């Protein structure tokens, strides 16, 4: 779980650096809101997808070895699915 995942600009390298720091290569990233900078930064990385709270599904969670979520996303997941 990350405190926050925000980028000032669209940079795939910055997103790749986040994944390298977490030692992750294949992941689903769950976001609390549709932050286009994060979504567009992640879209060219093979093995990584982004999802919002209303689009997550069991298949994606089981397919990817790691689930990365922000604190806000976890709070919203608890609200919706608890």
pLDDT digits (tens, 9 = 90+) for 27-71: 999 999 889 999 999 999 999 999 999 899 999 999 998 999 999
Report the predicted TM-score, pTM, of the whole model to 2 decimal places. Answer: 0.87
| 71-77 average pLDDT score | 93
In this structure, are residues 73 and 32 in contact, taking their beta carbons and an 8 Å threshold? yes
User: What is the DSSP secondary-structure string of 18-78?
Assistant: HHHHHT-SSEEEEESS--HHHHHHHTTSTTEEEEEGGG--HHHHHHSSEEEEBHHHHHHHH
What residue ranges do the domains of the chain occupy?
12-81
pLDDT at 50: 95
Indicate whether 1 pLDDT > 90.
Answer: no
Residue with tokens 């976890």: 74
Encode pLDDT of 2-14 as tens digits.
888 999 999 999 9
């Amino acid at each position: 779980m990350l405190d926050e995942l925000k980028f000032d600009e669209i940079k795939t390298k910055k997103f790749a650096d986040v994944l390298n720091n977490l030692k992750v290569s294949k992941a689903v990233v769950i976001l609390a809101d549709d932050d286009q900078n994060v979504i567009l930064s992640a879209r060219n990385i093979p093995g990584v997808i982004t999802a919002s709270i209303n689009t997550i599904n069991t298949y994606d969670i089981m397919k990817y070895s790691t689930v990365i979520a922000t604190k806000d996303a976890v709070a919203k997941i608890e609200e919706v699915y608890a």
